[in-house]
A and B are shown apart, each in its own frame.
Chain A
């Protein structure tokens, strides 16, 4: 691994090691470019991932009440506001992403579908909608598709190229049977970045059911054990863990030239940089740009448009559980390996614009009552839990509409460990979002009813895991933060490299798109450096 001097201003600094930052680090280092990769979290490993929330059987000293996600989750304080259900049901955890080497690719469920061509033309397709800040993507689907193909091969996505689909689990058998009764055609085990056979030096999925806790087989693609070790092998990567960026600095010419961060001992460090790429997940990316305000950039970096932190999208979610009179054992097997894609269309006759996916889902026993079920207690609540063996699950992943005031701001009333304002997440759902969720939960209920469910339970909206669009790509610099390569409109050597740059969210789980855009950005940065433009 490279050791890059703090004063070495020839290196690129990437902030965040997830899908965007980890992929970008590999792509740049393999082209011979030196990279300092800052990651706020610690490094875990396949061996360290835990599937045991409690202690040994038979004792009565189990004090360990942390969730199985404690070792991975970004648990720094956030505040939130707005009318969305998350503010009511999960007040202290508006969003759920990771703080660990590999970022959210460690806990993602590995669903890797593509956006549809028309989803990149959201404003043209949906028309002008009151209360929404829609724009079209500044790149075409054909352009994006080239990088989807590379990303799918890189990640070993199933049902693409020669990677077979994953086998059908019990939970998927229930979904499939219900979907077919309703006449759905596109029902399969999904395009998953999970090895259905050994691939890329990693083993195949043994259906553990612990995708979210970190795949102990490494069958699920994660930058933790793919892109990052590959980048380290080039000799050009300096990975610094437990290093939290607090400010990006610039020179009198307006170009960024250093990143200030706190190291593993809490000491402030300053790394010089020729170019900075921010990939801290859409909440922290926006926060860092806003925290980096200066006399030259009083609204924060790359924010002359005022768009940094705005248009926050998180995709529409919501659980539906079917209780049957026979066992399902839904926890056995790859958590999300099943999808119905027929509703990924824009058909305003349904009462809303945009599309949604119906995706398979299961929750382990400890997590179900905390995240998956509506608020409740007493006999009715307990009766659902009593049916755990016979419970099948699904959820919706749909396109939400960007709104200018759904945004990440700095909350100066609440400070983090370094005395810096925390992020506030504000979401007021658009009526379109609510109509879509209602339609989707209705369809999912009908699927379960059609095959004889004893009861269908609609769950809450869980903390957002798909954090998007807070520094969106736009053709017009007034509408967004970056150009089609994630290069900020305002500062040529400042790039955004995570889900923040998605112009609109679409109905596809975002990681594949984030990886495709990172691959494309790496190519662009490399070309621009060669051409002497940055």
Chain B
């Protein structure tokens, strides 16, 4: 890890913890930023709470080859919500505390069982909702899932494969229409 990058950071007085990692070479993001260190300043959670939260997000939406950096964004967003609202912070910290320190090291089966037990709680539903909202909206996820995103600046898909499927019969013209370019 590039420790120097982190040490040089100006920490806010309110910083409660830090979550760090490195983009893995060979991951979809790694093609763009291999070896790049990342760090998330925390303002509501401790480093250990953030690590538990990250493990919870990975259990809720387990994509084994998706970089930790994508899940760190979830942690960052939840931390931000918890910073803004005292009640949310209380619910989340209590929930994380209930999962306990052993949650991170537990097998996936055990992590699923632990989350199942609290599935109806506001804690779990908040974490689940935020995971789904944030995880799939990042450029890291776009690259991983193959989603091409913004299209206007590239001229849409009219010349970039909107009709490139070849494993089914072509649609007769009377049921469709001419490609305009």
Residues in A lying within 8 Å of B, measured CB to CB? 51-54, 56-58, 60, 62-63, 65, 67, 158-159, 164-170, 172-174, 176-177, 187-189, 196-197, 204-210, 216-217, 326-329, 331-333, 364-366, 368-370, 377-379, 381-382, 385-386, 388-389, 451
Q: A58-B33, A188-B175, A196-B180 are in contact. Are A377 and B60 (CB under 8 A)?
A: yes
Do B162 and A52 have beta carbons less than 8 Å apart?
no
Q: A57-B32, A217-B152, A333-B157 are in contact. Are A385 and B63 (CB under 8 A)?
A: yes
Do B62 and A379 have beta carbons less than 8 Å apart?
yes
B139 at the interface (CB under 8 A from A): yes
Q: A60-B40, A173-B163 are in contact. Are A388 and B60 (CB under 8 A)?
A: no
Do A196 and B145 have beta carbons less than 8 Å apart?
no
CA distance A420 to B139 in the complex (A): 41
Do A166 and B162 have beta carbons less than 8 Å apart?
no
Do B145 and A388 have beta carbons less than 8 Å apart?
yes
Q: A60-B40, A173-B163, A365-B142 are in contact. Are A370 and B132 (CB under 8 A)?
A: yes
**A-contact bits for B146-181, CB 8 A (1 contact / 0 none):** 111111100111101111110111110011111111
Instruction: Give the distance to chain A from B175, nearest Cβ to Cβ, in Å.
Output: 4
Do A332 and B177 have beta carbons less than 8 Å apart?
no
CA distance A327 to B148 in the complex (A): 13
Indicate which residue in A173, A333, A366, A377 contacts B61 across the interface (CB closer than 8 Å).
Answer: A377
Of B44-52, B72-80, B85-93, B99-107, the one contacting chain A is: B72-80
CA distance A196 to B96 in the complex (A): 53
Do B176 and A188 have beta carbons less than 8 Å apart?
yes
Do A51 and B157 have beta carbons less than 8 Å apart?
no
Question: How many residue pairs bridge A and B at CB < 8 Å?
Answer: 186
CA distance A151 to B87 in the complex (A): 52
Instruction: Give the distance to chain B from A171, nearest Cβ to Cβ, in Å.
Output: 9
B27 at the interface (CB under 8 A from A): no
Do A177 and B162 have beta carbons less than 8 Å apart?
no
| Nearest chain B residue, comparing its CB with the CB of A370 | B132
30 A-B interface contacts by CB (under 8 A): A52-B149, A58-B32, A60-B69, A63-B76, A165-B176, A167-B178, A168-B177, A188-B175, A189-B171, A189-B177, A196-B178, A196-B180, A197-B180, A205-B180, A208-B151, A208-B156, A208-B157, A217-B156, A327-B165, A329-B165, A331-B147, A332-B148, A332-B151, A332-B162, A365-B137, A366-B136, A377-B59, A377-B60, A385-B61, A385-B145
Do B145 and A389 have beta carbons less than 8 Å apart?
yes
Looking at B115, B151, B160, the one whose CB has the most chain A CB atoms below 10 A away is B151
Interface size class of B (residues with CB under 8 A): 35 or more
Do A329 and B161 have beta carbons less than 8 Å apart?
yes
B39 at the interface (CB under 8 A from A): yes
B112 at the interface (CB under 8 A from A): yes
| Nearest chain A residue, comparing its CB with the CB of B153 | A51
Do B169 and A210 have beta carbons less than 8 Å apart?
no
Instruction: Give the distance to chain B from A172, nearest Cβ to Cβ, in Å.
Output: 7
Indicate which residue in B112, B152, B162, B168 contacts A378 across the interface (CB closer than 8 Å).
Answer: B112
| Nearest chain B residue, comparing its CB with the CB of A51 | B150
Indicate which residue in B77, B145, B161 contacts A365 across the interface (CB closer than 8 Å).
Answer: B145
Instruction: Give the distance to chain A from B178, nearest Cβ to Cβ, in Å.
Output: 6
CA distance A377 to B149 in the complex (A): 24
Contact residues in A for B126 (Cβ distance below 8 Å): none
Do A207 and B137 have beta carbons less than 8 Å apart?
no
Instruction: Give the distance to chain A from B77, nearest Cβ to Cβ, in Å.
Output: 5
| Nearest chain A residue, comparing its CB with the CB of B60 | A377
CA distance A332 to B161 in the complex (A): 7
Q: A63-B76, A377-B61, A382-B62 are in contact. Are A206 and B147 (CB under 8 A)?
A: no
CA distance A206 to B63 in the complex (A): 33
Instruction: Give the distance to chain B from A137, nearest Cβ to Cβ, in Å.
Output: 31
Do B40 and A204 have beta carbons less than 8 Å apart?
no
Contact residues in B for A168 (Cβ distance below 8 Å): 163, 170-171, 175-177
| Nearest chain B residue, comparing its CB with the CB of A382 | B62
Instruction: Give the distance to chain A from B47, nearest Cβ to Cβ, in Å.
Output: 16
CA distance A168 to B174 in the complex (A): 11
CA distance A366 to B145 in the complex (A): 11
Looking at B77, B158, B174, the one whose CB has the most chain A CB atoms below 10 A away is B158
Contact residues in A for B112 (Cβ distance below 8 Å): 378
Contact residues in A for B59 (Cβ distance below 8 Å): 377-378
Do B176 and A62 have beta carbons less than 8 Å apart?
no
Instruction: Give the distance to chain A from B106, nearest Cβ to Cβ, in Å.
Output: 14
Contact residues in A for B42 (Cβ distance below 8 Å): none
